[in-house]
Chain A
Amino acid sequence: MKIVVCVKHVPDTAEADVVITPDKKGIKKEGLAFGINEWDEYALEEAILTKEKYGGEVVAITIGGKDSEDTLRRCLAKGADRAVRVEDPALEGSDAYALAKALGAVIKKEMPDYDIIFTGTQAGDDGFAQVGQTLAETLGIPHAALVTKVEIQDGKAKIHRELEGGLEEVLEIQLPAVLAVQTGINEPRYVSIMGIRKAKKKELKVLNLSDVGLSPDEVGEKGSLLKLEELYVPPVEKMAEILTGAPEETAARLASILDEKGLIPK
């Protein structure tokens, strides 16, 4: 099996404050912890599990700056055989469509005989949920998003896709295909720092646009169909009544509110 996994290095903003930069095009990165996108971590694990089961090779690909090598090193340590990072100033301002084109170009160059491409369903930062599916289209192969189970059977895969309301659909998909995985599909393994150090010997290639045969016009703002005009703090439409004070006080207030509303069973 020739397996590709596309990963992204993203900031963790679940708890941290998000501050928009003065040009309104991005957020301040200082002080934020970065790591592999949550969905991609599951995609990576699925890629490695697939290799462990059927043999073959896994190549991990990212588009991003030098710092995203952290994420690639983890991929290598967990079991990817080699990694490719694409960096080029012309990629600045790319939308999901342009990124998919760039990924497609890297894949065609680095693993043209792929059988399966794993991506995460979405990234925690921009939340587009479209790169994997777009990539499939640019490569002319089928895809499935929100994949929660994969069983490979010669030339095909039987997959589960998550639907709403706790329902799943079972599909048969022809390979090669792009499978954009949903979290929870597996249990991503731990990789130690020693493991990461050992993996330093594995190949981590850095390419630019011309290496993958793309012209600057095909990516970045020029090659994109969508343009970020500005970021802004969401207007607060409705805001909860915030109870203030020490925990005993807020708890007491809340308990009496619940009591007034008849929400405490007696």
Chain B
Amino acid sequence: MNYRGPYRIRTVDKPMPEILHPEDAIIRVTRSCICGSDLHLYHGMVPDTRVGSTFGHEFTGIVEEVGPLVQKLKVGDQVLVPFNVACGKCNFCKQGLFGNCHESNPMATAVGGIFGYSHTAGGYDGGQAEYVRVPYADVGPTVIPAEMDPDDAVLLTDVVPTGYQAAEMGGIKEGDTVIVFGAGPIGIMAARCAWFFGPARVIIIDHIDYRLEFARNYAKCEAYNFKEMADPVVFLKKLTDWYGADVCIDCVGCEAEGNTLQTFSGRVTLMQAGAATAFQWAINSVKKGGIVSVVGVYGPPFNLAPIGNIVNKGITIRANQASVKRLLPKLIDHVLSGRLSPKELITHRVPLAEVADAYRLFSSKLDNCIKTVLIP
């Protein structure tokens, strides 16, 4: 796929990617997904998204070629590739922060390298393609267990670890009440994974009914439409015994709806880095001393947020890009044991050649779309 400008993409023939570093591998893509994060690119909201780039950070494939220093991967291996480009050696990687690698993105220090995610995230071409270059091939790519369904494998590159980490960062204790904002693939997975930590209640908020319905069934949680609430924060306070949730999780990010001022300043005029509506609701609906976990993506400069309330309520904020590699062993176990079934999120399968239609479908939330897989 090839980006031509906001809302415009097409497929083109590009030269085969080459090994540019001795630790590189070239992967022939077997499946790639479109993510909510790709929509920020598609809508032209991420600075330094250059015309001609290829998106895609959630993919599986077959190793086609390896560089001279690659030791663990062999040609022919079936692998799933975490969305983060990580060196495995810097202090951040060594401490498990694979989403914050310091040796994968020269263009910005605030974010590590991410496949197919603009030059702000390293300028890598992504996996919504037939072939892709994968640097540090001994670190990220993980051989798919023979007994694993390939649809589950591709969701382990981002959706499952991100949803899981969103819940993990919430520091959920037994008996807690958790509110998840956003019923996209990430929010649904966060709500599902929250149960691994023992809460008594999980509540999900969105404004798209088919997604709420899906979340209710898949994640076994309570689901509410914020368009039906006069004031979402008051509604949520009341729903949580006028106390506030113990943990709130933002799985929406910069393209949130629901607050005119946030939308106008963040999405229409780009005066701030997107609309921080869900983040604001999270802070204002969590209890005093509560935890707000953020995986929703925001742009680089800054956002309007109620910092005063964070201070006065003593709120802890935890946030990060998911550290896919760190979580994989645990999550592979959850999937293989049958406790978690990620592939149920997949609603659409589209040939790579129809990628423009696939983006539109997901972006406009048409045909009850939750998650789309592209097949090259």
Whether chains A and B associate is no
